[in-house]
A and B are shown apart, each in its own frame.
Chain A
Amino acid sequence: MAEFLYLYRGGQRGTTPTESDQIMQKWMNWFKELTASGNLKDGGQPLEAEGKVIYSKAGPITDGPFAEAKDLVGGYTLVEAATLERAAQLAKGCPILERGGAVEVRPIMKLDM
């Protein structure tokens, strides 16, 4: 088993409470599936859209990241899967795909001494 990070990018958030509830219920179901199949390592967290960016020690702390909405990272999850292909296949169940977003699947790099 190898570990992979899902980075969720873009995706329309709910505009009404009912819509948000429905979306969250889909996430709940997806996490339950990942838990049941033994692939969920750490649920990770959703992220607020705005924060700060630091480019250098000396430079100012700037507001950001102001990426294009479709590229903005909206959260992350850690999964375990046998291969990158398998991890990518699993990501097809992610509800963000129904909201115009994308899942970026990145293998965790093992740094050996």
Chain B
Amino acid sequence: MEPSDHLFRHEAGRMVAALTRVFGLHNLELAEDVVQDAFCRALEVWKLRGIPPNPSAWLMRTARNRAVDLLRRERTARTFAPEYGRLLQTEWTLANAVQEVFDTTDLRDDQLRMMFSCCHRPLPEAAQVMLVLALVGGFGVREIAAAFVSSHSAVEKRLTRAKHTLKASGALFDITDEADFAERLPAVQRALYLVFSEGYHGASEAIVRADLCNEAIRLTRLLAQHPLAATPSTQALLALMYLDAARLASRLDATGNLTSLFNQDRSRWDRGMIDEGVAWLERSATGNELSRYHIEAAIASAHARAPSVEQTDWNAIVSLYDMLTRIAPSPIIALNRAIAVAQRDGPEQGLREIDAIPDRDRLNRYPFYHAAKGELELRRANNRLAREQFKTALTLARNPAEKRFYETRLSESLRSRAPKHRE
């Protein structure tokens, strides 16, 4: 029996976090090496003796012993975490000090500490996201490259650079300092939002996308359980993730093909997740904070609660997009708003709204922009224009699933030529 990748991935985050407390943030790679070693050892030993009854305890113990060996070997050459410094230099206390760190490791605090450390301002957002995935999520370079549809070596380079910056920041983030915590929380929320978006809207393969969404939910739950991090915006973010993730399975059909919101089989939406999302959205409505996550969650909830496209409250959705445009203006939000307007007022009005997007040239490389225009042209039976738009979308498609989706739409626009000329 093979130990699952998920076991290693989940353990990696907590082991790296605990070991970094022993070694100090400046020895981050050492912590990662010890974790790698422990995994290799597990694969060897478990192959012979089978998986132990408590694999995570086994891995932790192995990592702890490897850490003690390493501290012995390197104690004259390196400095380790200053708060343990002297205790790690002498056999009188070495093993006990390491044991103590592992014993007092609070799984949640360790992961939060690392998450907050990763969202360090000098790092670009994309780098923060990669660090969170690598160090807290336990994603390997291969998995991150798949998530960002990027090459292995490019991701490796970015990660190395990002870790360098992280190490230079000196020490792990102190999660007990309320002022610092509040100041960094938005960056952490943003990073988790981006992890989720990469999963939900991104261009990677279906299996990677579900992993990203699940990991984003898991980490946002950690935030929502921490007294300082459980703000209304965190709760709204979690609501948004549940409400969107509820529809993830039906976005991709059995053959891995994309299905637009308008054609999804709503019976396949995950009711449990929708309920969870609605409950978090209600919780987030305390206080006077109105974040973009609140509005996006409210939009997602309007979709999730509607029994059909026709019975969706498009008027409310347009108003929510109006609010979102004021808080966080972007051409993509404007495009989504235009689509909602089209549902409410018809395709002509929708197309007019699209043409009125101020910086819409920024959408030119975004396949969905052309596909949306194609849909609206198709709806007003302007098939020639629809075909052109779908063709453009097809050339911009980012993965096979998107490609198949636009191909289907293109052939649809060829087939449904008849209605306009029939009468």
Contact = CB atoms under 8 A, between A and B. Distances in A.
A33 B96 CA distance: 15
A92 to B, nearest CB: 17
A64 interface: no
B93 A28 contact: yes
Given A31-B86, A32-B87, A43 B92 contact: yes
A46 B87 contact: no
Nearest to B85: A35
B87 A44 contact: no
A27 B93 contact: yes
Contacts of A75: 92
B150 interface: no
B87 A42 contact: no
A45 interface: yes
B87 A31 contact: yes
A45 to B, nearest CB: 5
Contacts of A40: 86
Contacts of A31: 86-87, 90, 92-93
A9 to B, nearest CB: 15
A28 B89 contact: no
B359 interface: no
B228 interface: no
Nearest to B88: A43
Given A45-B91, A46-B91, A28 B86 contact: no
Nearest to B83: A35
Nearest to A43: B90
A24 interface: yes
A32 B96 CA distance: 12
A28 B91 contact: no
Interface string A27-63: 1100110010000101111100000000000000000
B92 A46 contact: yes
**Count class of interface residues, chain A:** 10 to 19
B76 to A, nearest CB: 12
Nearest to B96: A28
Interface string B66-96: 0000000000000000000011011111011
A94 B87 CA distance: 16
A44 B90 contact: yes
B96 A45 contact: no
A43 B86 contact: yes
Nearest to B87: A31
Contact of A35 (B87, B91, B95, B96): B87
Contact of A77 (B92, B95, B97, B100): B92
Contacts of B86: 31, 35, 40, 42-43
A25 interface: yes
Contact of A43 (B89, B95, B100): B89
A90 to B, nearest CB: 15
Contacts of A24: 92-93, 95-96
B92 A25 contact: no
A40 to B, nearest CB: 6
A62 to B, nearest CB: 26
Given A24-B92, A43-B92, A77-B90, 17 more contacts: A24-B95, A24-B96, A25-B96, A28-B87, A28-B92, A28-B93, A28-B97, A31-B87, A32-B87, A35-B87, A40-B86, A43-B87, A43-B90, A43-B93, A44-B90, A45-B91, A77-B92
22 contacts: A24-B92, A24-B95, A27-B93, A28-B92, A28-B93, A28-B97, A31-B87, A31-B90, A35-B86, A35-B87, A43-B86, A43-B87, A43-B89, A43-B90, A43-B92, A43-B93, A44-B92, A45-B90, A45-B92, A46-B92, A75-B92, A77-B92
Interface of A: 24-25, 27-28, 31-32, 35, 40, 42-46, 75, 77
**Sorted from nearest, which 10 A-B pairs have the closest CB atoms?**
A43-B90, A28-B96, A28-B93, A31-B93, A45-B91, A27-B92, A24-B96, A35-B86, A43-B92, A46-B91
